[in-house]
Structure 1
Amino acid sequence: MRESTLSESRSDRLLGYCSKGTFLSVITVSGQYGVNELGEIPADARLPTSFGDFRIRVFHEENTGLDHVALTLGDMIGPDPVLVRVHSECLTGDAFGSLRCDCGAQLEAAMRQIHDVGWGCIIYLRQEGRGIGLHAKIQAYNLQDHGADTLDANLLLGHPADARDYGIASEILGSIGIEKVCLLTNNPDKVVQLVQNGVNIVERMPLVVGVREQNLQYLTTKIDRMGHEIEDERLNGHRQ
């Protein structure tokens, strides 16, 4: 019969392990966003992936109730700049392989580059749909299926074109000891927000991947109307 409860001896060993402070120390961050990493057992573990053995840590944002992730490889503390990707959640792209966007391809490329360099960090923010949430994002997809572009679809739903706030990422970066950043992004607003929140970005590195027929209009809108810096010859025929 399969055991459904811990044996007394096993339970005692686990409780002793916790009470002796064997786990890594808990980090508390007090700032504008109320980010913390709290609990008797920290949400901090090894995460083997196809791109290497990463470390995953969860940071809880008290203001919103959302859990954000820092995925790191190697030592984050030191004089050398750290390769960083601040990535906003995209269920359809990251999990389901959607070709409507380049999000999943960017996440994989960032993990691959961090593995190749040997150290780096991905801040995974729970800001689905450029901050408007999954339900509204799929509503926006519906409008795009009927002719709206990715920016106008948000506006038609009464949302900002981009509602993301990267200030929380700056707090997480600081809490894990990253002082200098090489940022993987095509989004200049992300750079501006992070710098305004005290992040020392020494270099912006483009991340142009996942360009396909299905997302050419989406990407050209990001270039022409949202100021993203994406250079790919396949986009030239779709530019305004």
Structure 2
Amino acid sequence: MNQLENTLTSLEVAEMVGRRHDQVIRDIRKITEQLNDHKNVDVDYFTEDTYKDGKGEIRPCYRLTKKGCELFSTRMTGAKGTQFAVSYIDRFNQMEQHIKQQPDISNLSPELQMFNQMFQAVANQEQKLVEVNDKVDNISEIVALNTANWRNETGNFIRKIALKQGGGVAFKEINQQIYAEVERRGGFKFNIRLRNMQTRQIEKGYSKSAVKKLNKLDVIEADKKATQIYIQVVKEFAIKYQVELD
């Protein structure tokens, strides 16, 4: 979370439990249906909300209270359930400590309360500047990455982008978008090049299993210009989707 709040988002929960966001939403909706069937008040557990994805589109999400996290954890067993419990308990303890550290200004005069609000606004602005500087540093590191191991590095970026967008399905979609942009910039036709590469290897006597394993990345690796464009496009996507380096 960028700011401490008294709820966790379903996006954060999805990250904690290692599942796709749509799966977490589906489970929460099932729980709320059961709560409503038993005339329980689900607002004490979950509230509907929205967020903007990497494309700027509005998507549905939920906010979970501590009770909501406890209820959600009942659907999980074994090590994953334990790990989720540890994660959300730590988060809520962190929130509670933050709240306790805030001074009680209810007894201050209106003038002093006003000054306190001004000081808080300045502090918040400074925090935002720190966050902006962190993003700038992260972007600089992305741009400056060593491309000697480009296949592993770009693959890592794409997996992180996909995780933020919902998991396995998003991984395929992001890959398709990247390939399409590389083709547009370089005037390539990767499907044709891949077929030609497969034909050449068959003619050279390579086994069918080896030829079958060839993919678009092999085509890109065989062309220095395509490699450079591909790396640049992946970096741009990483910056666009605000991927953070480990």
Normalised-by-shorter TM-score class: under 0.3
TM-score normalised by L of structure 1: 0.19
TM-score normalised by L of structure 2: 0.19
